[in-house]
Amino acid sequence: MSPDREKQDVVVGKSRRLEIRQLKIEEEDEEAMSSPFPVVLSIPINGRITCLAALPLASHPTSLLFMTTDQHQYAVIGYNADLPNYVETFASGNLKDEWNVMGDLADTGPLVAVDPHNRCIAMHLYDGLVTIFPILPTRSKKSVLGPVFHARLEEKLVLQIAMLHHLDASITPPHLCLLHQDARGAQHISTHVVDLPKSQLWSMTSMAGNQTMTGQHLEWLKKPRIDGGSSLLIPVPPVAAVAAAPGASATSTSSAQQASGGVVILGQRQITFCGLNHHKVMPIPPALILSWDALPPDVSGMPRFLLGDEFGNLHMLTLITQKTKVVALQLDTLGSCTLSNTLQYLDSGLVFCGSALGDSQLVQIHDEPIPVEEDDMDDDAALELGETTYLSVEEEYTHLGPIVDFDLVPMTGSNRTEGAQSQVVTASGSSKSGSLRVVQNGTGMKEYAAVELGGIQNMWSLREKFEDTQDAYLVQSYVGETRVLGVTSVGAEDDAMNEDGGSGEMETEEEVGGTLEEVFLPGFESSASTLFVTNVVGKLLLQITETQLRLVNEGGAVLDTMEPESQITVATANEAGQIAVALRGGKVLYVEVNEQKFQEKASKKMDREVSCLDINPFLSAEMCNASLLQKRGQKSALVAVGLWDDFTVRLLSLQTEELAELLLINLSTGEEDEEGESGGEKHRSNRNNMMARSLCLATLDMASSSNSTAKSNKVLPGADMLFVGLGDGTLVSFTVVQDRSISVQSKKEVSLGTQRINLVPLFNEKGGSCVLGTGDRPTVIYLAGASSGNYNSKLCYSNVNISPADDGDANDVSRPPTRESISVNCATPFFNPLLFDAMGQDHYSLCIADDVNMRLGVIDDIQKLHVSTYRLGMAPRRVVHCPEGRLFAVGCIESGIKQGSAGGNETAMGNCIRFLDDTSFEDVHRIDLEPFETILSMVSATLRPYKPTLPGNVSGETASIDMDDEESDVEYRPVLIIGTAYALHDEDEPTKGRIIVLSCGLNETDGTEASRSVKTVTELEVRGGVYSMCQFYEGMLLGTVNSKTQVFQLQDDGTGGVNLAKIGVEHHGHILSLFVSSRASKSTGQHEMSSADGKESAKPPPKKEMLALVGDLMRSISLVQYYSEHETLEEIARDFNANWTTSVAMLTDDIYLGGENWNNLFVLKRNAKAQNEEVRCRLDTVGEFHLGEMCNKFMSGSLVMPSNSSTEPSVRSGSRRRNSILASPSKRGSVGAAGSQGALRTRRPGVAIGSQTLFGTVDGTLGVILGLDGPTAAFFSCMQRALQTAVTPVGNFSHQQFRAFNAEQRMHPSHGFVDGDLIESFLDLDKSSMQNVVDEMNRDGGWEVDESNFVSNDKNDSNMKDADRVDLMLEDVLAVVEEMTMLH
């Protein structure tokens, strides 16, 4: 699809998105490229992609793409540089059979084959039917496809289709080859001829005696009873006829030229070549071939193909030919890679291996074998290749699918409910691709060194020489003094500049060879606090203290000083020698360095004291792509000024003697100003936190984002930004537009925490730039979007998490978790090769400090989500975090094939539970289950041991429980519980299983280190498979065993031990109870049943209902309640729809979420207060949505750290009403020198969320479902309708049709849900399309459903007439959408 025909694009279908990668192997770009195979375009599709096929048509300059979706839609799309999203739809349609007149859907799914001469496309979608799409030979304005027609097939069960290759298309019609299976299970090959002029399909039988296609060459390939495990067909291109040997007749040569190359049938035990009147068979070791692609012919012209099998091995199949005849088959094993579902040969031996069961890979095929790493060697490949391989992995592309299970783990040692930032650990992959994936929101910072240094007020880096690329000094400002740390080589003699008795040394890893130690910097004032330090053009150093400006040369001589008439309160400067300082009393002084002297240029008296200044220069488009050295010394034309007790930022001109005010930018709204005037001192303290405390003028470019991997020869302009950090942790950003006059637009406001923000610009040697915002949630602000195919660049935010480079002693499990989020008071960029490896130069290296420690580190690739992979080598089934023992428990299936046994091949399969360290992911312990025992469920719970009231009761079933006061303080025991089943080959359903209770903890050994212990507490044998378990109330356990739902509890056996026993009467009435969920808290085993002081009351207030949700195989969801006084579990409500559930979750006590196997989501509501008993027993469907992917698990939680500690069910994302009121800069009279406050402000709802639920799917999607309040839901629903109307989707696939609930014959329009992916695609539109969406929202008016729920500028605005209302502005909608993106 690329406009450059010399570059080959690879289109990857990833569920509901097309990803276009382009191979770039030019030698001159190797150093500049971060990836040889980057993503150049990413396109959302309204449907789950099922088939892709390239159409290289002569009538089009670029190849077209034929694709189909799971809703039987098809489209032909292509590249068009004139369109905003670069994609043009040339044809589209729908083959859905709503009335079932065409037959049943094929079990093999849609199969697509394209004629090699691009005359037609064949698709098999329904049993006994093939659909033909004729391709028009000339370009048409309407479509590239002719009238579609359907043709009947005699073959009922078609396994694969292919179009045969012929040399001469003028005399040979398209030939369709079928691999099909008869009623007895035998597989055969047959051929059909496509008659495009008459829209018919001819078989060999129907053509007998038919003169319809007289004069055309027809070829009938036929091969009965091939390998029964065959699944793929490879059409072989014909070999060009060799010059006829002497005596060869012209007729035989012509016949050879007309014949096709035949087909290769890939079976599990043999590979068969089927040609015209001859066949060749080659036996192979048992393996299922999953994928193939054509390779370039060898030097003698023999066809070659690349094959990928189910064990991850790559093979090369060569067809040995003599003249035009295949005489033999040869199969060579190249090595092992990922489990490839698709293969695509690129160029120069590079192959893209796409996998749905693990990471995709870019693999290099070598001409000669190379040594293989021990970890990468597959057992099967090792038998043939030994310790060598022909493959090497160049790149890996992360894929989380299939997500079988996941758990939410706090990044710090605190409890999940305390609001700490969390990470998701997924059990992903299958077979040898099985792995654990740690998914974190934010960017990791690799910590190289740390030292205890408290009291640092600010820090700056200095280079020894101006032109140096590395920093030599780290200047630290304290109260009343300044210290300097210098970089020295390890083992070097102490310099005369070193100071005895200074602060401690800070040494990094031994192999780096560098330390930071305190030094004396000549010329610098060390007995005063420093306000600013920088290098200056001309090999100078600048220091600004509270009393003077000092200019020092590289030798340490003081060249000039300047002492203003009053104390300096704020200072800023740049490397061009421009200095701006604020004096006590509100005077701003502008000074320049000329000829190694200070020269006062201008001054201005402000209305109030100055709180912050910034004089960083904006960069031109050419400078954005320049090196870091070239960017130094650029002059600024502006200085930004923030004032105390003022909610504005002023932009002053440096080109005038009076520092003329160019722009006045208001940060607050008129309502806040009014409240401040009448709120008194209490409100004044809140207002102080809302003032500007830090400013940053910066030009951000695309090189800062790791997603911006595609390099372009054209100059990409950066975005001139103004960032304002407020005292309450809010960041306000503006885009600065410099034309004839200066203006700002695109105001964005996000909360980065609760502490004041300091803004620090960061740069790297690649030319990338970003801004670090300090505080309790340090965040990197960067630009991303355009290089990944989005039309707009957009501002992104990524939290910074600390992870040490050296984990130290892996056996010391008592240390805190290595990945954590910390507070940062001040930071500065700092790079030196003696302290950092090469990674520090390519990335952003910096020094940060908090109240106690100072750290040196390097920021990883900047991205919103960071994924770490830990290989298991086996298929994971369940994963649970055990915080008590700092372990991950992973239930795995270990399988493989052992070669060479006496009885032939022997399959070895077993289930085990592996316990891994939650920091290093090293194996700590392992438990192997019994033969045929399978892991079904696993949960970490807190159980409470009880004593049965009947002392003689030793059976599994107990009577009433003694709940006297003296037992109310029994300690709850955290345990790991595993549910299993014995899968016997002669049983349809398991009749035996176990519930195993384990304790995972830390054992103190010598007082300094701790070791883990995993002990079996007890186990209980049950009659069936334990499909699901969950924490239940009062320290009990709820589980499902086959069709029964039961309550279990730990009971004291009187000897110091405990037993697990089921209590009371279980609930029957399900077909197969697969899922169970409750809202009981794991920390106490209770659900809001304790008093305010945390102690359980003897007579608590009215108890909460002990509710649980049960998901059935076929009978949807039921709500059950446990009555502790009767020890009975009863069903109190159910959903009467026939949903085949795949996951369930309780959002609230009355709202329930479910997923079902047709890739739909549904929400049920309980009518607890209804008068009618029949209504109370029914769960009403209040929401339906087609996700397009099958959900395997729901879990309450979020990857984003909460911005405040509110525990209300509906939390506003902002902590002030200012977040609910946005004044568009273009509409506000206050943006400008006039400062008018009379203009009406646009009204919009603040984003308010309730429940937060994570979900994982089979396709590898990790998503979140957010509960919205009424006004927020109305706003986004209106926006969704506007996007559906104003934006034409790719392929003309209807969004409404795609998201409609679709289960077999049940189809309902989507309701109760808003498509977040569609909403956030608004940010990728061009400006004109955005405006069209906003105009459509204003015409719709649905975003203002309830006037009373919206905040406006006027307190009595609820009665405002329609004529007085102001429509939504584009900036308003952008602000709301970007605010939503920060919540997940």
Per-residue pLDDT, averaged over 775-795, amounts to: 70
User: Sorting pLDDT into bands at 50, 70 and 90, what band is 26?
Assistant: low
Rounded to a whole number, what is the largest CA-CA distance in the chain?
112
**Residue 996: closest CA among 1033, 918, 941:** 941
pLDDT value, residue 211: 67
Per-residue pLDDT, averaged over 302-331, amounts to: 92
Residues 966 and 943: beta-carbon distance below 8 Å: no
pLDDT value, residue 420: 56
CB count, 10 Å around CB of 950? 11
pLDDT value, residue 1055: 80
Q: Where are the alpha helices (DSSP H) in 120-159?
A: none
Q: What is the pLDDT of residues 1290-1346, one digit of tens each?
A: 999 999 999 999 987 788 999 999 999 999 999 888 889 999 999 999 998 888 765
Q: Is the model's pLDDT at 1277 over the cut of 90?
A: yes
Residue with the bigger pLDDT between 989 and 970: it is 989
Instruction: DSSP letter for 1236, please.
Output: -
pLDDT value, residue 926: 93
pLDDT value, residue 1367: 81
Query: SS3 letters for 416-452?
Result: HHHCCCEEEEEEECCHHHCEEEEEEECEEEEEEEEEE
Q: Is the model's pLDDT at 3 over the cut of 70?
A: no
CA–CA gap between residue 663 and residue 1229 (Å, rounded): 12
Q: Is the model's pLDDT at 592 over the cut of 80?
A: yes
Residues 180 and 203: beta-carbon distance below 8 Å: no
CA–CA gap between residue 412 and residue 427 (Å, rounded): 21
User: Sorting pLDDT into bands at 50, 70 and 90, what band is 14?
Assistant: very high
Tell me the pTM.
0.85
Highest mean pLDDT among 53-57, 617-621, 683-687 belongs to 53-57
The helix or strand, by DSSP H or E, that contains position 674, with its residue range, turns out to be helix 670-678
Per-residue pLDDT, averaged over 1020-1039, amounts to: 94
Residue with the bigger pLDDT between 516 and 660: it is 660
User: Sorting pLDDT into bands at 50, 70 and 90, what band is 1104?
Assistant: confident
pLDDT value, residue 1298: 95
CA–CA gap between residue 633 and residue 615 (Å, rounded): 12
CB count, 10 Å around CB of 1314? 21
Edge-to-edge strand order for the sheet containing 865-871? 403-410, 422-428, 435-441, 865-871
CA–CA gap between residue 745 and residue 170 (Å, rounded): 61
Q: Is the model's pLDDT at 647 over the cut of 90?
A: no
Q: Is the model's pLDDT at 1203 over the cut of 60?
A: no
- Determine what percent of the chain is predicted with pLDDT higher than 70: 77
Out of 277-291, 463-477, 691-705, pick the least confident: 691-705
User: Burial, 676: exposed, middle or buried (Cβ in 10 Å; 0-12, 13-18, 19+)?
Assistant: middle
Q: What is the pLDDT of residues 605-642, one digit of tens each?
A: 999 999 999 999 988 766 666 666 667 778 999 999 99
1364, 1368, 1370, 1374 alpha-carbon torsion, rounded to 10°: 140
Query: SS3 letters for 1021-1042?
Result: EECCCEEEEEECHHHCEEEEEC
* Token output for 888: 């991950």
Per-residue pLDDT, averaged over 578-583, amounts to: 95
Residue with the bigger pLDDT between 58 and 1091: it is 58
* Torsion angles phi and psi, residue 1133, rounded to 5: -165, 155
* Token output for 1360: 């405002």
Q: Which residues lie below 8 Å from residue 500, measured CB to CB, with a gap of 6+?
A: none
Residue with the bigger pLDDT between 1366 and 442: it is 442
Which one-letter amino acid corresponds to residue 1215?
Answer: S
pLDDT value, residue 823: 83
CA–CA gap between residue 929 and residue 931 (Å, rounded): 7
Which one-letter amino acid corresponds to residue 208?
Answer: A
Angle in degrees, CA 394, 400, 402, rounded to 5: 120
Q: What is the pLDDT of residues 1211-1236, one digit of tens each?
A: 444 333 333 333 333 333 333 333 33
Q: What is the pLDDT of residues 208-250, one digit of tens each?
A: 767 677 778 888 888 888 888 888 999 999 876 333 334 444 4
Q: Is the model's pLDDT at 1241 over the cut of 60?
A: no
Q: Is the model's pLDDT at 1036 over the cut of 80?
A: yes
pLDDT value, residue 143: 81
CA atoms within 13 A on the CB side of 192: 25
Residues 412 and 427: beta-carbon distance below 8 Å: no
CA–CA gap between residue 1270 and residue 1246 (Å, rounded): 11
Per-residue pLDDT, averaged over 288-294, amounts to: 94
Highest mean pLDDT among 130-139, 445-454, 1251-1260 belongs to 1251-1260
**Strand 794-804 and strand 443-452: pairing?**
parallel
pLDDT value, residue 513: 64
Per-residue pLDDT, averaged over 561-589, amounts to: 94
Residues in the chain: 1384
**Residue 141: closest CA among 197, 88, 181, 99:** 88
Residue with the bigger pLDDT between 88 and 1343: it is 88
From the centroid of its chain, how far is CA 180? Answer: 40
CA–CA gap between residue 258 and residue 1211 (Å, rounded): 73
pLDDT value, residue 448: 84
User: Sorting pLDDT into bands at 50, 70 and 90, what band is 803?
Assistant: low
Q: Is the model's pLDDT at 719 over the cut of 90?
A: no
Residue with the bigger pLDDT between 552 and 957: it is 552
Q: What is the pLDDT of residues 339-393, one digit of tens each?
A: 999 999 998 899 999 999 999 999 999 999 998 775 555 554 444 556 789 999 9
User: Sorting pLDDT into bands at 50, 70 and 90, what band is 502?
Assistant: very low
Mean of per-residue pLDDT scores for the chain: 81
pLDDT value, residue 1304: 79
Which one-letter amino acid corresponds to residue 42?
Answer: S
Unique residue bearing structure tokens 């960061």:
762
Which one-letter amino acid corresponds to residue 608?
Answer: R
CA–CA gap between residue 888 and residue 879 (Å, rounded): 7
pLDDT value, residue 1102: 57
pLDDT value, residue 894: 81
- Determine what percent of the chain is predicted with pLDDT higher than 90: 48
Which one-letter amino acid corresponds to residue 864?
Answer: K
End-to-end CA distance of the chain: 33
Residue with the bigger pLDDT between 881 and 631: it is 881
Q: Can you count the helices (H) and strands (E) in the chain?
A: 13, 88
pLDDT value, residue 1326: 86
* Token output for 1072: 């197969």
- Determine if the peptide bond prior to 1289 is cis (ω within 30°): no
Edge-to-edge strand order for the sheet containing 597-605? 568-573, 578-583, 587-594, 597-605
